[in-house]
Amino acid sequence: MSEQHEWWQHLEIRQPAEVLEFSDDLFVVDVDPLRDFLAARLAEFAAAQPEGSEARWAAQRLADVTRAACRDLEQALLSWEAVLATGRAEEGGLVETLRRSLGPQWNRLVVTASRFADHPEYLPRWRQLRQLNAQYGDIAANDTEPDSGT
């Protein structure tokens, strides 16, 4: 069995989390509905602006930038999934930089989506993710506890 085949086989086994709690829970498939939702809402917003106006240009530009941000996050998640499949998740350097970039990229998109939270297609799972995983959450919690003075 080739290494590339094992990589894809591993991806088929992992399933997206029902509730997103940590950025390590993110998958490419998590971005798809968010991307589609944002594209639709921002297109509606742009269409509501007067033709040829600065407001319409800005709304269309926001839609373009948001679409690019979704694509960038999808690419980063594909890279992260490859890292996971090869067992390198705890490596430092570029792997750690990649891992730590996923949450902030996601958070920027969900902040934009939250503007449309009253829309019937908005999903409550689109929320900000503040930690990588439960282990990092425990570390962060311990870092905020008062110093015992020892």
Q: Are 103 and 23 in contact (CB under 8 A)?
A: yes
* Both structure tokens of 27: 């998958």
In a domain, 11, yes or no: no
The domain of 131 spans 23-139
Which residues make Cβ contacts (< 8 Å) with residue 36, sequence separation at least 6? Answer: none
Q: What is the pLDDT of residues 135-144, one digit of tens each?
A: 755 544 444 5
Total count of residues recorded for the chain: 150
In a domain, 12, yes or no: no
In a domain, 3, yes or no: no
Dihedrals φ, ψ of 130, to 5°? -95, -20
In a domain, 85, yes or no: yes
Number of domains in the chain: 1
Number of other CB atoms surrounding residue 67 within 10 Å: 14
What does the pLDDT average to over 31-58? 97
What does the pLDDT average to over 105-134? 94
* Predicted TM-score of the model (pTM): 0.79
In a domain, 135, yes or no: yes
Computed over every residue of the chain, the mean pLDDT equals 85
Q: Are 63 and 73 in contact (CB under 8 A)?
A: no
In a domain, 45, yes or no: yes
What does the pLDDT average to over 28-38? 95
In a domain, 13, yes or no: no
In a domain, 120, yes or no: yes
> What does DSSP assign to residue 87?
T
